[in-house]
Amino acid sequence: MQIIKIAVILGIFLWCGCSGDKKNDRFSYFRNYSRTFNDLNDRHLQGARKWGIQPVGSVNELKRMKGQVEEIRSCRLYEVDELTHSQPYLVPRAVGLLQAIGRNFRDSLSAKDLPSYRIIVTSVLRTDESVKKLRKRNINASANSAHVFGTTFDVAYARFKKTGFGKTENDKLKSVLAEVLQDLRKAKQCYVRYEYKQGCFHITVR
């Protein structure tokens, strides 16, 4: 009798363990990043020229453009990385898009019972000065970039800012971010390019 009880308990334990594994395996990973997010530079420039500012020569000139651009800072919805070749400014329309991405990402993580993370913004508005410096460092950097219009920003997919307890694998976070961007892209809110070498999504408001 004792042996039967032990067998039953062991069976329940194994069943629960298997059920837990199956629950974890239910996560649906995003596929075909490059094929889905394939908006080329011409499309980004189209949106940038429609909604953006005229390219500016220097940071001092940029700071005088009050009302046309807004400074972005790390907040509950996103983290602004240490920027080396861009300035943390966007046109109001692009700020709204960035906030929507951060908010939808946060809500999607919660809906999927995943730990809390924030997206990381890695590149924003580039002045003529910063473009020249970037091209000296990287000869492949485009001189004809949508980043100069204040409509475009990059969001990392290779790293995220942990903001709560628990942790999860980066590929799950990347998948959730991709789903968020896909929804906004389908709603014609933005153009998105998957930048494999740079480890980011290149995003322009539309």
Sign (positive/negative) of CA torsion 44, 46, 48, 54?
positive
Neighbours of 73 (CB within 10 A): 9
> Domain limits at 152?
33-205
44: enclosing H helix or E strand:
helix 41-51
| Alpha carbons 161 and 165: distance in angstroms, whole number | 12
Do the domain assignments include residue 14? Answer: no
The predicted-structure confidence for 107-162, as pLDDT tens digits, reads as follows: 999 999 999 999 999 999 999 888 877 766 665 566 689 999 999 999 999 999 99
Q: What is the pLDDT of residues 54-74, one digit of tens each?
A: 999 998 999 889 899 999 999
Residue 7 in any domain: the answer is no
Residue 49 within any structural domain of the chain: yes
125 lies in some domain: yes
**Per-residue tokens: 133:** 């410096």
pTM of the model: 0.84
If one counts the domains in the chain, the total is: 1
Domain presence at residue 81: yes
Q: Does the residue 67 lie in any domain?
A: yes
The helix (H) or strand (E) run that includes residue 8 is helix 2-25
Q: Quick check: is 104 in a domain?
A: yes
